């Protein structure tokens, strides 16, 4: 990474879904040694602390098919402001979640800086649902669609504008649980997807080579990595809220991070959906931090 200054922002929000515990994800990753691991690699790491998330709303708010809408708008707006400030301070934003709805805020802050932002969505899910297609009402299944300007106006227009990203600048890696409405949107918008079929067939090396070349060909001015720990097989990341069998392996994920580091294209990152309540001895958080190590230049030898 060219930028040796990293700012860590914790977003302890579980409002994007129904399972409690993912709000403790930032603490679990800190406990797993993220700051120390990156400092050993020569980075100046500044822990900016956590966004304040109110905890009195213990009952999931039923709002048609947008659960906890107002809370998520507030959190996303605050996170977007923080991300923009971090970038303006010439620091690399590293966001620790929290469920994947926090990406709405992350991308809203990045889009002011990067006018042609590339996005690598490393996830078992496409997160392209809308209020019309969602089977659950969980907003953590909508952040990519929202960032494309599709969905509730209160979410799509966070920080006053939409869309935040372009469909041709997105690459989804690891998809294996995609809802019918999401499949239609992928086809309609021409979003590039490497499902587990392509990863199995081509191998992770070729998938990453093609992904990196694709984004460079689009002449993006920055690349955001949004990594959901459920992209990996539950064997390696048991502490996630929506595990899907048949995922990416631990070693394949390290290879992907190593290749991104070698390409030197990542300008921001977030690691989400670590749920310590569902975990085994902090295994998922440890995996997340190990992957961060590879992303920021840690070598086996």
pLDDT for 300 = 86
pLDDT for 160 = 95
H or E segment and range at residue 180 = helix 180-189
Pairing of strands 266-272, 92-97: parallel
Q: Which residues are catalytic?
A: 100, 123, 125, 127, 140, 228, 230, 273
Range of the domain at 173: 5-295
CA atoms of 136 and 231, how far apart (whole Å): 20
Question: pLDDT at residue 56 above 70?
Answer: no
Straight-line distance from the first to the last Cα atom of the chain, in angstroms, rounded to the nearest whole number: 18
- Residue 141 within any structural domain of the chain: yes
- Residue 173 within any structural domain of the chain: yes
CA atoms of 194 and 78, how far apart (whole Å): 32
Closest CA to 147 of 132, 136, 162: 162
pTM for the full predicted model = 0.97
The mean pLDDT value for 198-223 works out to 98
Residue 111, C-beta contacts closer than 8 angstroms, at least 6 positions apart: 117, 147, 161, 164, 165
Question: pLDDT at residue 97 above 80?
Answer: yes
Tokens matching residue 293 = 């190590």
Residue 116: CATH number of its domain: 3.40.800.10
pLDDT for 51 = 97
Residue 277, C-beta contacts closer than 8 angstroms, at least 6 positions apart: 20, 21, 24, 239
pLDDT for 60 = 56
Name the pLDDT band for 168 (thresholds 50, 70, 90): very high
- Residue 301 within any structural domain of the chain: no
Q: What is the domain count for the chain?
A: 1
- Residue 149 within any structural domain of the chain: yes
Phi and psi at residue 13, to the nearest 5°? -110, 135
Yes or no: say if 171 and 212 are a contact pair by the CB < 8 Å rule: no
- Residue 42 within any structural domain of the chain: yes
- Residue 300 within any structural domain of the chain: no
pLDDT for 2 = 78
- Residue 242 within any structural domain of the chain: yes
The mean pLDDT value for 206-225 works out to 98
Tracing tokens 């805020």 back to the chain, one arrives at: 105
**pLDDT per residue over 136-149, tens digit each?**
999 999 999 999 99
Higher pLDDT, 295 or 20: 295
Closest CA to 145 of 101, 115, 193, 175: 101
CA atoms of 202 and 73, how far apart (whole Å): 39
- Residue 49 within any structural domain of the chain: yes
Question: pLDDT at residue 103 above 70?
Answer: yes
Q: Considering the chain, what is the average pLDDT of its residues?
A: 95
């Amino acid at each position: 990474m060219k930028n040796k200054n990293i700012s860590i922002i914790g977003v302890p929000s579980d409002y994007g879904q129904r399972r409690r515990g993912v709000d403790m994800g930032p603490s679990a990753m800190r406990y797993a040694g993220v700051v120390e691991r990156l400092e050993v690699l020569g980075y100046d790491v500044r822990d900016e602390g956590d966004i304040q998330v109110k905890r009195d709303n213990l009952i999931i708010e039923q709002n048609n098919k947008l659960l906890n809408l107002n809370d998520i708008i507030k959190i996303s707006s605050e996170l977007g402001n923080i991300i923009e400030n971090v970038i303006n301070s010439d620091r690399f934003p590293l966001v620790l979640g929290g469920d994947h709805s926090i990406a709405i805020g992350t991308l809203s802050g990045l889009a002011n800086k990067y006018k042609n932002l590339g996005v690598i969505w490393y996830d078992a899910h496409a997160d392209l649902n809308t209020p019309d297609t969602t089977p659950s009402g969980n907003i953590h299944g909508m952040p990519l669609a929202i960032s494309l300007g599709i969905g509730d106006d209160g979410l799509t227009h966070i920080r006053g504008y939409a869309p935040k990203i372009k469909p041709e600048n997105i690459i989804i890696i690891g998809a294996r649980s995609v809802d019918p409405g999401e499949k239609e949107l992928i086809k309609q918008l021409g979003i590039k997807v490497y499902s587990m079929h392509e990863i199995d067939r081509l191998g992770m090396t070729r998938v990453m080579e093609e992904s990196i070349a694709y984004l460079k060909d689009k002449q993006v001015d920055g690349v955001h990595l949004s990594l959901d720990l459920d992209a990996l097989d539950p064997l390696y990341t048991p502490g996630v809220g929506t595990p899907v069998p048949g995922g990416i392996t631990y070693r394949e994920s390290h290879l992907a991070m190593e290749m991104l580091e070698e390409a030197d294209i990542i300008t921001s990152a977030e690691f989400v959906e670590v749920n310590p309540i569902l975990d085994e001895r902090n295994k998922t958080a440890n995996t997340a931090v190990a992957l961060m190590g590879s992303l920021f230049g840690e070598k086996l030898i």
